[in-house]
Structure formats: C-alpha cells, structure tokens
C-alpha cells in the first residue's frame, strides 16, 4: 500500500507543479522529486522482493498504509521546512524586521 500511496502523492504533486510551471514559487517541484524518489525506491524494493521471495506484489494492510502515510508526511514536513527557510513571500523577513 505504501507504493500506491506514495505514487499517488507523487502524481498529485507533479500535476500541481506542472499546472503552475514555469513559476515554482512554492517549490512544489522539489516536493514532487521527493515523492518520486520514494516511489522509485518502493518500486525497486517491491520488484526485488517479488523476484526473490515471490508472494504478493502489493501489501494491503494497516502497517503498509501507515508506512506510506508516514513517508508522505515526512516529505511534506521537509518541504514545509524548505519553504520556511527560503521564505518565498518574504513573510519571515517582514516579521523579523519588527
């Protein structure tokens, strides 16, 4: 389930980035790259496990769902931290000048 969730989040982030391209004020492209990297990692993990061990390709249980949501949440947290540090609207600069 974590592969499915991460891929879905990556597709959504990519669509949002592409509709706002070439202006990437909020660095959605970076979020998209984070999620595509995680999706690629999960895909390789699934393919290797399937080839070596067999069994189910997709894990559809609560643990796999929570892992997928945790990875998406971590990507969102890192993205927000990057946004706060880069301050695209200059809000922090205005607040800190007071």
pLDDT tens profile 13-69:
999 999 998 888 899 999 999 999 999 999 999 999 999 998 888 889 999 999 999
Q: Provide the pLDDT for residue 88.
A: 83
CA end-to-end span of the chain, whole Å? 47
Nearest Cα to Cα of residue 28 among 45, 10, 46, 16? 16
Nearest Cα to Cα of residue 46 among 34, 64, 62, 33? 64
In the chain, where are the structural domains located? Answer: 2-97
pTM: 0.87
Q: How far apart are CA 73 and CA 35, in angstroms?
A: 10
Nearest Cα to Cα of residue 3 among 28, 55, 40? 40
Joined tokens for residue 4? 């499915």
């Amino acid at each position: 389930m974590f592969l499915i969730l991460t891929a879905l989040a990556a597709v959504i982030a990519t669509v949002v980035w592409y509709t706002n391209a070439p202006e990437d004020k909020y660095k959605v492209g970076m979020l998209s790259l984070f999620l595509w990297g995680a999706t690629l990692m999960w895909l390789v993990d699934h393919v290797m496990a399937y080839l070596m061990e067999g069994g189910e390709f997709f894990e559809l249980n609560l643990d796999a769902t929570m892992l997928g949501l945790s990875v998406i949440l971590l990507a969102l947290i890192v993205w927000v931290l990057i946004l706060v540090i880069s301050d695209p609207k200059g809000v922090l600069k205005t607040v800190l000048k007071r």
